[in-house]
A and B are shown apart, each in its own frame.
Chain A
Amino acid sequence: MLNILFIGLSLSSILLLIALGLAITYGAMGVINMAHGEMVMVGAYVAVLSGIWLDANLLVAIPLAFVVTALLGLAIERVVVRKLYGRMLDTLLATWGVALLIQQAVRLEFGLSFFGVHVEGLGPGLQHVTTPAFLQGTFRLAGVELNAYRTFIILVTAVLATATWWLVYRTAAGMQVRAIIRNPNMAAASGIDVKRVNSMTFAFGSGLAGIAGVLISGIRTVFPDMGPPLVVDGFMVVVTGGVGSLYGTLLSSALLGEINALVAIGTNDILARAVMFAVVILVILIKPNGLFSFKER
């Protein structure tokens, strides 16, 4: 039983890393970023490529993926999202277009495949990333057999979540983000450079998704179409938790990850996902603003 809860916790961790970025961008800017799943995918490919080209392991890929996806996120914010503030549903559609572009860029090896140039690691095929030797196998803790890699996922997430919490609740920049979440117009009137903070927030959220991608690459197959299901899961977490509430995101990712693990043990992965969707629908029907929303003013 403890083992199942532990697997659930590792699922929750990845969900949390994906959802944190979505929660901040959606809560603060009213942007639904459907290309967020592609950030995870790009992060996973950074792990693949750094294995092939740099002969480096996952640990190196983590900061690398953060930088790559944060820059990519920054570019998307500057080129597309910036022009669409205040048009929430349009951001959903435009970023879906961006997602298609990124998927095809990876599949076509950035278009180089047309010129007969092959970038090893990219393309339509499936990729696998082997975890470093010291993260393979299991170890015993308090009488429970724990998978080393899953423990690693949980630890990395704990560190990143704490760092995010510290950034948002203990720094001046974080206060600006929180001000924007509550009321963007009032924040702008108080002299906060909303555009700049938005860009930074978007980039940071994308970077977290990139790290989630690296972590996923150790347990799942990496392929160009892996993004959409992940962004859907991320949104389910954000909406269930309550938009704009980071604690809500934390708790609902824990809830959904554990539900997923528990049902999957009893039945199978497919039905586990179905049950997760059912729970999300019920939560929205019962509490339309999510489990942990603050009062709108």
Chain B
Amino acid sequence: MALENKLRLAAYALFFLAVFAAPVFSDEFLLNRLSKYLVYGMLAIAIALTWGYAGVLNLGQGLFFGLGAYMLAMSLKLSSPTSLQQGADQPVPDFMLWNAQPGSPTELCCITPGSFIWLPFQSQWTGLVLGVVLPVLIAGLLGLLVFRKRIAGVFVSIITLALALLVRLVVGDAQPVTNGFNGLTDLGWLTIGGLEFDPYSHATYYLCAATLTFTLIGTRLLVETRAGLILQAARDDQTRARYLGFDVPLYQTFFFLIAAGISGLAGMLYVVVAEFASPTFMDLSFSIAMVIWAAVGGRNSLLGACLGAILISAIETSVSETAALIEAWKAVIGLIFVLVVLFLPRGLAGAAHDLIKRFRHSQPHIAPSSREQRNEVH
């Protein structure tokens, strides 16, 4: 066990070293792209936390990502130069003028019905705070409702999926207020204490890298706390954990909302890096993509899931730039995914784990234990 912990520590150290050393070897274009991968890494960590540790497969994680993204994007939209040049004293998003009835006042209060909800976003802090608080609040409420009623397994997945799609449809339909399916584009830069986060700058990359580092270390420490252990006990046998006197729904809700907070944070970072927010963030395919990352990397390993996200999205962008493979690549992803589920049920991290185990116990009489290990995987 001691060796395993050392190896894990080494893996984390190596990963952080690679993340912080990357800017030395990259130009600003690559740096921007790497920042996106790090954001995806955070999403995979959130999935590993709920799916791998709590046993709850959230098929609507994109909802929390999307909410985080929209909250910050609304603030950044109001701080963009174009919003200031719309002829009003206060900034007004350009699309609102295109959608407004002729003759309506060029003020956020009443330019179109519902536009008043933009008023608080004149402060950038509103977006920054709500980007995490709103996902956490919604996840907390939803978690309490769902887990208290002992709704489990696929039913939770269906509820989260339905909620994400519902919000996606409403956001898309509210064209005058949200710019509908076009999403929010032409955003200002995030500015904190005089420091501007140019999406192609080192500052932005380090912002993502630092957030990812804190997330990874934070969640790692969290799953090792008593609460984390109880959660894992509940994942393995919920009834027993309940009979032992633990308030299982409370722990599940807690981890559910932590994952939502991480996703909201990731959504905000994505807006800073990519300079847009779109309803497609709340699509089924994006939420499933996150699950794929975590599954390929290893759902029971926070670092593994994170690496899975970075690895797959890196391969995806580089291969999809080869013109002939743009469409074929999706088929390759599909194939990889089928193969991983069939042959590496615990992902790359699980495979690495087994490899280390086999390396240690190369004596033949211990071999059956690794087979047992494989059989108990579900």
Bound complex: CA A92 to CA B58 (Å): 12
Inter-chain contact A273/B169, CB cutoff 8 Å: yes
- Name, among B150, B173, B291, the residue most crowded by chain A CB atoms within 10 Å (CB to CB): B173
Answer whether A285 and B331 are a contact pair too, CB < 8 Å, given A90-B341, A271-B173. Answer: no
**A105 part of interface (Cβ distance < 8 Å):** yes
Inter-chain contact B324/A114, CB cutoff 8 Å: yes
Select from chain A the residue with minimum beta-carbon distance to B155.
A284
Q: Which A residues touch B338, using CB under 8 A?
A: 80, 94, 97-98, 101
Answer whether A236 and B162 are a contact pair too, CB < 8 Å, given A89-B57, A101-B338, A285-B149. Answer: yes
Inter-chain contact A268/B295, CB cutoff 8 Å: no
Inter-chain contact B334/A101, CB cutoff 8 Å: yes
**B227 part of interface (Cβ distance < 8 Å):** no
Secondary structure call for the B interface? helix
* Known A100-B330, A228-B284; further 4 A-B contacts with Cβ < 8 A: A80-B338, A92-B157, A97-B334, A236-B158
Binary per-residue interface labels of chain A (78-116) against chain B in the complex, 1 for a CB within 8 Å, 0 otherwise: 001001101111101110111111011101100100100
Answer whether A104 and B295 are a contact pair too, CB < 8 Å, given A239-B155, A284-B151. Answer: no
**A15 part of interface (Cβ distance < 8 Å):** no
Q: Identify which of A97, A103, A124, A270 contacts B173 (C-beta below 8 A).
A: A270
**A200 part of interface (Cβ distance < 8 Å):** no
Q: Which B residues touch A270, using CB under 8 A?
A: 169, 172-173
Binding-face segment, A47-55, A132-140, A150-158, A274-282: A274-282
**B233 part of interface (Cβ distance < 8 Å):** no
Inter-chain contact A274/B149, CB cutoff 8 Å: no
Answer whether A108 and B331 are a contact pair too, CB < 8 Å, given A97-B338, A274-B173. Answer: yes
Can you name 23 A-B pairs with beta carbons within 8 Å?
A80-B338, A80-B342, A84-B341, A86-B378, A87-B345, A89-B57, A93-B295, A96-B334, A99-B334, A101-B331, A103-B330, A104-B328, A236-B158, A236-B162, A239-B158, A268-B173, A270-B169, A270-B173, A277-B165, A278-B166, A280-B158, A285-B145, A285-B149
Select from chain A the residue with minimum beta-carbon distance to B345.
A90
Bound complex: CA A209 to CA B331 (Å): 22
Q: Which B residues touch A94, using CB under 8 A?
A: 337-338, 341-342
**A288 part of interface (Cβ distance < 8 Å):** yes
**B22 part of interface (Cβ distance < 8 Å):** no
Q: Which A residues touch B158, using CB under 8 A?
A: 235-236, 239, 280, 284
Inter-chain contact B327/A108, CB cutoff 8 Å: yes
CB distance from B284 to the nearest CB of A (A): 6
Q: Which A residues touch B292, using CB under 8 A?
A: 93, 96
Q: Which A residues touch B285, using CB under 8 A?
A: 228
Inter-chain contact A277/B335, CB cutoff 8 Å: no
Inter-chain contact A104/B162, CB cutoff 8 Å: no
Bound complex: CA A101 to CA B331 (Å): 5
**B223 part of interface (Cβ distance < 8 Å):** no
Inter-chain contact B337/A104, CB cutoff 8 Å: no
Inter-chain contact B159/A285, CB cutoff 8 Å: yes
Answer whether A281 and B327 are a contact pair too, CB < 8 Å, given A88-B153, A101-B334. Answer: no
Q: Which of B39-58 contact A (CB under 8 A)?
A: 57
CB distance from A266 to the nearest CB of B (A): 13
CB distance from A293 to the nearest CB of B (A): 11
Inter-chain contact B169/A100, CB cutoff 8 Å: no
Answer whether A107 and B342 are a contact pair too, CB < 8 Å, given A94-B337, A239-B155, A288-B151. Answer: no
Q: Which A residues touch B334, using CB under 8 A?
A: 96-101, 104
Q: Which B residues touch A268, using CB under 8 A?
A: 173
Select from chain A the residue with minimum beta-carbon distance to B170.
A274
Q: Which A residues touch B330, using CB under 8 A?
A: 100, 103-104
Inter-chain contact B378/A87, CB cutoff 8 Å: yes
CB distance from B378 to the nearest CB of A (A): 5
Q: Which B residues touch A271, using CB under 8 A?
A: 169-170, 173
Q: Identify which of B165, B333, B336 contacts A232 (C-beta below 8 A).
A: B165
CB distance from A273 to the nearest CB of B (A): 6
